[in-house]
Amino acid sequence: MYDLHCHLLPGIDDGPETLAEGLAMARLAVGEGIHKAVVTPHLHVGRWDNDRAVIEAAVAAYRRELAGAGIALEIGFAAEVRSDYEILPLIEEGRVPFLGTLDGKRVLLLELPHSQVPVGSDKLIDWLMMHDIRPMIAHPERNKDVMHDLTKLEPFVVAGCLLQLTADAIAGGFGAEARQCAREILAHGWATVIASDAHDRKARPPRLRKGLAAAAKIVGEAAARAMVEDVPRRIVEDE
């Protein structure tokens, strides 16, 4: 399986604080059946000022440690980019790493604020699409506005955005509201990818199987597996 959204790099954001923790998470990922993890540190202007150069250096060091520890986890990298107009110059300067490409457009993992869908989001999406960048909205099922009113998500789908659901949210690990929202997104056929959004070993580990099983009950085994295998592979193969 492929995990297109996870925080495994130590000391770079709110993921693991130590290298030992980061390596332990990688071991868990391998045990979970994850073949490739695309690490996605937060890029949140003014809070997590990670850019391509910072992330690439951290990934190079992490890969060396994985090899030294004999952990057979392939690592790619991108960023979980907070939705904000301040990211536009960073994109123009080539400082924002993408998940890969799909249908000729670069795929950007875009995070909305947890509490709301900001006014003006449609204009940001339009700018990205005009620049051949296709947003993949990170964990929309955990956004409070979307949980209360699923129609808030519909303009993003109509605009061509991809949607990434959190495996544990589908399985109920983020509460009943997020679980219901995730399952409604699946039932609508809007979900593109299922990922772990792992941050640690205990509360938010790199775990996909429970969410995959829960999704399969809604969309069928083949469609659910495509969201952790075929679709992620298509996105990252040209990264």
Rounded distance between C-alpha atoms, residue 110 and residue 164, angstroms: 10
**Any idea what the CATH number is for the domain that residue 171 is in?**
3.20.20.140
Give the pLDDT of residue 238.
66
Tokens of 130: 């005009």
Domain count, the chain: 1
| Predicted TM-score (pTM) above 0.95 | yes
Give the pLDDT of residue 119.
87
Q: What is the separation of C-alpha 156 from the centre of its chain, rounded to a whole number of angstroms?
A: 16
Give the pLDDT of residue 54.
97
Tokens of 28: 């868990």
- Indicate the SS3 state at residue 32: helix
Rounded distance between C-alpha atoms, residue 207 and residue 219, angstroms: 19
Give the pLDDT of residue 108.
98
Q: Amino acid identity of 238?
A: D
Tokens of 26: 């990688």
Give the pLDDT of residue 226.
98
Give the pLDDT of residue 237.
87
Domain that holds residue 73: 2-236
- Per-residue pLDDT of 17-46, as tens digits, reads 999 999 999 999 999 999 999 999 999 998
Give the pLDDT of residue 46.
85
Convert 173-194 to b/e letters by CB count within 10 Å (16 or more is b).
Answer: bbeeebbebbbbbbeeebbbbb
> What stretches in the chain show pLDDT beneath 70?
238-239
CA distances from 222 to 6, 101, 207, 213, 227 (A): 23, 22, 19, 11, 9
